[in-house]
Amino acid sequence: MRKPRRHTPSTIDRLDPEIRDLIGKLRIDRGFTIDEIRAALEKVLAAEHLPSRSALGRHVKSIEEVGAQLRQAREVAEALIAQVGEGGEDRLLELNIELLSTSVLRLLTATNDEGDGQPVTLDPMQSMLVSKTIQQLVSARKANAELVVKTREAAIKAAAGKARDAAKTRGLGKDTADWIYREVLGVEV
């Protein structure tokens, strides 16, 4: 198994967080070009700390890619929430489980960053974490199904009780009220 390469921080990664935030704000909030951002950085950084134009270009590209992914995720989430609507907590949980399942599948079927079409290889720790994630997905799905059943049972029992009480209030006999209760519950005598 190939040993994973260690990530070497770029010249941008080595800058102070405030400077990286400034780069992001200039690009995203104000629409500055790479040259305009570099000119702004020249005013606040010493020449030896000024990143190259190509490093700045790679960083800006990664910011834009992450921004696009976040916008897409937000749009999908808003559309899905609109579809789930009121009272759909179990459907929302199931949706979240499905989204995470899809993400795990994408991870496991992705190709590496080297452009050779080879699948991503996971080290033992990463494999264990993916395995735990899958186990937790299965547990969450089971717990959700159990919660849905319990919630429905409680709602039916409450409705049966209200029906029995309403029958008694209307002057029906105890036997008739109890019969209505059992019918709503679906219980055979």
pLDDT, position 145: 83
CA distances from 55 to 30, 49, 59 (A): 20, 12, 6
Q: Are 90 and 144 in contact (CB under 8 A)?
A: yes
What pLDDT shows up at residue 39?
Answer: 93
Residue 5 has what pLDDT? Answer: 54
Number of H helices, E strands in the chain: 6, 0
Length of the chain: 189
On the CB side of 179, CA atoms within 13 Å amount to 5
Burial of 51: CB neighbours in 10 Å, binned 0-12, 13-18, 19+:
buried
State the pTM of this model. 0.43
Residue 90, pLDDT score: 66
Output b/e per residue, 26-46; b: 16+ Cβ within 10 A: bbeeeebebeebbeebeeeee
Tell me the DSSP string of 128-187.
HHHHHHHHHHHHHHHHHHHHHHHHHHHHHHHHHHHHHHHHHHTT--HHHHHHHHHHHHT-
pLDDT per residue as tens, the chain (189 positions): 455 555 567 788 888 888 888 998 898 888 899 999 999 999 998 888 889 999 898 888 888 887 787 788 777 777 776 776 655 666 667 777 777 777 777 777 776 666 666 777 778 888 888 888 888 888 888 888 888 889 888 988 898 888 888 888 888 888 888 888 888 887 765
